[in-house]
Amino acid sequence: MNNYITCIECGHYPVSIISLCPKCSKNPYGHICRFCNAKVTDSEAILSKENIRSQCMRYDFYGELHNDGYIEEVKVYHYHQRCFNDINTIEYICHSCSSLHTKFSNSCLNCGQIFSYEICDFCRLLVIKELAVKVEIDLLDEIKYFHPICTGKIRRKLEALADYKARLDEERKQKEVEESIKKQRREQRKLRNLIWILYGFFL
């Protein structure tokens, strides 16, 4: 196995896979851009942090469930400058003062009005709610928000989800048909038994 890579920052080779680059002393791997999935260097990357709070459940010795509170975790996402700019290029007019915004901001740069926003479920950056593409995920009974530009990235996932929903629907219908046939048969059988009982009674 080759344990050496070429430094993504300065092109130096070889760099051991377990150390910083000996020439530029930077991270030789870089990171994966959350938007385009390609590598981005430490020096170019735009960072975004997200606090993720998740409930911590635990079973004790007796099999009882306990709530151990919450754990906070900070996730760091990386983006190319150009990807970050593409995601955050908007056209949005403030409802209070009518000033035009061409870059994302969570409040009006002119009058301070707070815009309502959500987290894009694909790139994890904020998106103004009014501009977001809303996708209802029936199966999970929730709404997810996306930047219009991010929906292209998830089209295949959404199509797969739609396929899955269609298949579930199809199976449900099939089951209903089978159930109704079974029910019909049961009733026919009951009727036949009844006829036999009556027949025997009168015989």
User: What residue has token string 């150009």?
Assistant: 82
Q: Answer yes or no whether residue 10 interacts with Zn ion by CB under 5 A.
A: yes
Q: Answer yes or no whether residue 6 interacts with Zn ion by CB under 5 A.
A: no
Q: Which residues contact 43 (CB under 8 A, 6 or more apart)?
A: 9, 26
Amino acid at 197: I
Report how many residues bind Zn ion under the rule CB under 5 A: 24
| Region for 95 from its dihedrals, namely left if φ exceeds 0, alpha if ψ lies in -120 to 50, beta otherwise | alpha
Pick out residues in 21-40 that bind Zn ion (CB under 5 A): 21, 23-24, 33, 35-36
Cα(144)–Cα(150) distance, integer angstroms:
12
Widest CA span of the chain, in angstroms? 106
Torsion of CA 68, 69, 74, 77, to 10 degrees: 90
Q: Answer yes or no whether residue 132 interacts with Zn ion by CB under 5 A.
A: no
Nearer to Zn ion, 105 or 161 (CB): 105
Nearer to Zn ion, 18 or 65 (CB): 18
Amino acid at 82: R
Considering only 43, 96, 106, 188, the residue that binds Zn ion (CB under 5 A) is 96
Query: Binding segment for Zn ion among 13-21, 64-72, 151-159, 178-186 (CB under 5 A)?
Result: 13-21
Give min distance, CB of 140 to Zn ion, in A.
Answer: 19
Q: Answer yes or no whether residue 122 interacts with Zn ion by CB under 5 A.
A: yes
Considering only 45, 46, 83, 126, the residue that binds Zn ion (CB under 5 A) is 83
Give min distance, CB of 84 to Zn ion, in A.
Answer: 8
Q: Answer yes or no whether residue 12 interacts with Zn ion by CB under 5 A.
A: yes
Nearer to Zn ion, 9 or 128 (CB): 9
Nearer to Zn ion, 98 or 184 (CB): 98
- Applying CB under 5 A, the residues found at the interface with Zn ion are 7, 9-10, 12, 21, 23-24, 33, 35-36, 80, 83, 94, 96-97, 108, 110-111, 113, 120, 122-123, 147, 150
